[in-house]
Structure 1
């Protein structure tokens, strides 16, 4: 058994798909559109077979809500945690690649909320935010 895919609601499908294509080598699949439900999505596939479904529907909240009716900005997302899914993790193969990719993202304006480091459980990782504030771990 394996996880077939993970889905993320977003407000800008193309911007999010481009992030995963540019930084993690994802291949963006054609747009699916269901006009009756006002639903659109694209799959992003990765070399190892993993897939993300990037989805949009106009009636889904466009900002991340934390707690009861509390809307937070990207600046405070690094300190905000909640129950449920908390991050995606991409293995890039080496500490040097973690460092290089994190620096590239930082220089291109991607929020880095955790600098490269070895964690208490032995992972070498950094943490960035995708264009919609989802936490992404970059690890060996």
Structure 2
């Protein structure tokens, strides 16, 4: 069976953006795969990768590098409603922007919607 191994994010500053997710969520860096244009973080079930913009050329994706708008949504699951409430201020203090404060969804999750320092959308979720 196939499984998700990584979600990779193109980043203007791989060190700063990976550091944001380390600081907010406590993810650890996978130092064995560090390079000048990449950082990887262990998230527990899969990994989160950050590619420098140089990777567009490396992957022959240059023609897509100007793509505008929201193209993905990172979901970070936590253990409790209290964790959602606790981590939103940590994310904001670390440079995130609040899009939607914590709320209960129609599918009975407690979550908040934010933008990371580079404008990528992520949610902090607790599945009730």
Class of the TM-score when normalised by the shorter of the 2 chains: 0.7 to 0.9
Deviations 1:71-126 (CA, angstroms, capped at 9, x unpaired): xxxxxxxxxx5xxx431111111111101111233345421111000011211100
Aligned mate of 2:41, from 20, 40, 44 = 44
User: Equivalent residue for 1:57?
Assistant: 53
Deviations 1:28-68 (CA, angstroms, capped at 9, x unpaired): 233224xxxxxx1111112x23101100134664x7623xx
Quote the Cα distance in structure 1 between the aligned partners of 2:113 and 2:17: 17
Matched residue count: 115
Note closer, same or farther for the CA distance 1:9–1:112 as it changes in structure 2 (3 Å cut).
same
RMSD of aligned residue pairs (Cα, Å): 2.0
More helix by share: 2
Aligned mate of 1:90, from 71, 76, 99 = 76
TM-score normalised by the chain length of structure 2: 0.78
Structure 2 unaligned spans of 5+: none
Matches within 5 A, 1:28-39: 28-30=29-31, 31-33=34-36
Matched residue of 1:55: which SS?
Answer: strand
Aligned mate of 1:137, from 117, 123, 128 = 123
Structure 1 unaligned spans of 5+: 34-39, 67-80
Quote the Cα distance in structure 1 between the aligned partners of 2:93 and 2:6: 30
Q: Which has the higher contact order (CA 8 A, sep 6+)?
A: 2
Quote the Cα distance in structure 2 between the aligned partners of 1:64 and 1:24: 28
TM-score normalised by the chain length of structure 1: 0.72
Quote the Cα distance in structure 2 between the aligned partners of 1:14 and 1:107: 18
